[in-house]
Amino acid sequence: MVGDAPPVDRMTNSRTPVLLIAALLAPALIGLVVFRLYPIALAAGDSFFNVLRGQRVFVGFDNYIALLTDSIFWNSLWVTLWFNLLINPIQIALALGLALLYVQQFKGVTFYRILFLIPIGVSLPTAVIIWRIMLSQDGLVNGVLGIAGVPAQPWLTAQSLALYSIIAIATWKGISYWMIFIIGGLQNISPEIYDAAKVDGVKPWQQLFYITIPLLRPTLLFVLVADVSINFLLFAPIFMLTQGGPADSTNVLMYEAYKSGFIFGDMGRAMAIIVVVVAILLVIVGLQFRLLSGKGAR
Partner 1 sequence: MSMSSNPVRQGLSLGAKHLVYALVAFVFVLPLWWAIVSSLRPNAEVFADIFPFTAKALLPSPASLEAYTGVFERGFGMIIANTLIVALITMAAGLVVNGAAGFAFAMFDFKGKKYILTAIIISFMLPFEAIALPLYTVTQQLGWLDNIAALIVPSIANGLAVFLFYQFFSQVPKDYAEAARLDGVSWINILLRIYVPLSMPTCISAALLLFIFQWEAFLWPLLAMPSQQFKVIQVGMAAFQQQYQTIWNQLFAVAVITALIPIALLLPLQRYYVQGLAGAGIKG
Q: Which of residues 199-228 bind partner 1 (CB under 8 A)?
A: 218-219, 222-223, 225-226
Q: Which is nearer to partner 1, 75 or 288 (CB)?
A: 288
Q: How many CA atoms lie within 13 A of 178 on its CB side?
A: 31
| CB contact set of 292 (below 8 Å; sequence gap of 6+) | 1, 218, 221, 222, 225
Q: Which is nearer to partner 1, 98 or 166 (CB)?
A: 98
| CB contact set of 261 (below 8 Å; sequence gap of 6+) | 267, 269, 270, 271
Burial classification of residue 298, based on how many CB atoms lie within 10 Å of its CB (0-12 exposed, 13-18 middle, 19 or more buried): exposed
Q: Min. distance of Cβ 249 from partner 1 in angstroms?
A: 21
Binding mask 158-197 for partner 1 (x = CB under 8 A): --------------x---x---xxxxxx-xx---------
By the rule CB under 8 A, 239 interacts with partner 1? yes
Distance of CA 7 to the CA centre of its chain: 33
Q: Which residue from 11, 60, 192, 205 is in contact with partner 1, where contact means CB under 8 A?
A: 11
Q: Min. distance of Cβ 7 from partner 1 in angstroms?
A: 9
By the rule CB under 8 A, 54 interacts with partner 1? no
By the rule CB under 8 A, 37 interacts with partner 1? yes
Distances (CA, A) of 192 to 116, 117, 196, 199, 213: 28, 29, 6, 11, 16
Neighbour tally for 75: CB within 10 Å: 16
140-147 and 124-134 helices cross at what angle (nearest 10)? Answer: 50
Q: Which residue from 69, 71, 106, 151 is in contact with partner 1, where contact means CB under 8 A?
A: 106
By the rule CB under 8 A, 16 interacts with partner 1? yes
Which of 35, 38, 42 has the alpha carbon at shortest distance from 268? 42
Q: Which residue from 90, 130, 161, 202 is in contact with partner 1, where contact means CB under 8 A?
A: 130
By the rule CB under 8 A, 150 interacts with partner 1? no
Q: Which residue from 72, 86, 208, 236 is in contact with partner 1, where contact means CB under 8 A?
A: 236
Q: Min. distance of Cβ 73 from partner 1 in angstroms?
A: 16
State the Cα–Cα distance between residues 161 and 146, nearest whole angstrom: 18
Q: Which is nearer to partner 1, 163 or 267 (CB)?
A: 267
